[in-house]
């Protein structure tokens, strides 16, 4: 019987060691996760400081930051150009009032009713089934709050 008791004690001891090591591993993983969270907060704070400094000093920055400011300004210009290409491909315009995407042929923004600037005369939109404007009879885009043709606010 002593042999079986000894084996039982060894198994119990090994199990307790494995449990302790597993708990330690879990505790270390949790602490590492907390460290990562705090490092992420620091990185976000540094990013916000940089954005605030850039916004406050776009025209009067210290010469030691010139390379950073030049990179940011060049990238902003490139981004604006790429966004213009996307708008051209999608065949839309951005509303000057609310920034919504509006079909190029629209005279008014269907979201806020702002008159859309025109570069060239608008072509007649193809007839489509759907809700009609009570003022001008134009077909309304789904979910439009204002008529894109005449700017009339739609009633619920």
Residue 127 has pLDDT above 50, yes or no: no
CB 154 within 8 A of CB 146: yes
In a domain, 148, yes or no: yes
Percent of the chain with pLDDT over 90: 57
In a domain, 3, yes or no: no
Q: Which domain holds residue 77?
A: 68-120+130-156
Residues 89 and 153 in one domain: yes
Residues 29 and 87 in one domain: no
In a domain, 108, yes or no: yes
In a domain, 147, yes or no: yes
Residues 84 and 140 in one domain: yes
In a domain, 143, yes or no: yes
Residues 74 and 26 in one domain: no
- Banded pLDDT at 122 (limits 50, 70, 90): very low
For the chain, give the mean pLDDT.
Answer: 88
Nearest CA to 109 among 64, 146, 134? 146
Residue 110's beta-bridge partner residues?
Answer: none
Mean pLDDT of 85-90: 90
Range scoring the smallest mean pLDDT among 16-25, 70-79, 142-151: 142-151
In a domain, 54, yes or no: no
Domain count across the chain = 2
Residues 31 and 76 in one domain: no
Q: What is the pTM assigned to this prediction?
A: 0.51
Residues 32 and 72 in one domain: no
Residues 80 and 147 in one domain: yes
In a domain, 49, yes or no: no
Nearest CA to 114 among 106, 124, 104? 106
In a domain, 2, yes or no: no
**pLDDT of amino acid 129:** 61
Nearest CA to 125 among 140, 109, 143? 140
């Amino acid at each position: 019987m002593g042999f079986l008791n000894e084996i039982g004690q060894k198994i119990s001891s090994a199990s307790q060691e494995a449990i302790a090591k597993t708990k330690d591993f879990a505790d270390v993983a949790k602490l590492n996760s907390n460290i990562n969270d705090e490092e992420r907060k620091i990185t976000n704070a540094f990013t916000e400081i940089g954005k605030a400094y850039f916004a406050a000093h776009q025209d009067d920055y210290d010469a030691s930051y010139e390379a950073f400011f030049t990179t940011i300004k060049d990238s902003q210009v490139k981004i604006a150009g790429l966004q213009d290409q996307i708008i051209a491909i999608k065949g839309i315009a951005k509303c000057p009032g609310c920034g919504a995407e509006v079909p190029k042929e629209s005279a008014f923004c269907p979201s806020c009713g702002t008159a859309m600037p025109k570069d060239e005369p608008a072509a007649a939109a193809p007839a489509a089934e759907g809700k009609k404007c009570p003022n001008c009879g134009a077909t309304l885009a789904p979910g439009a709050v204002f008529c894109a043709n005449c700017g009339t606010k739609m009633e619920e």
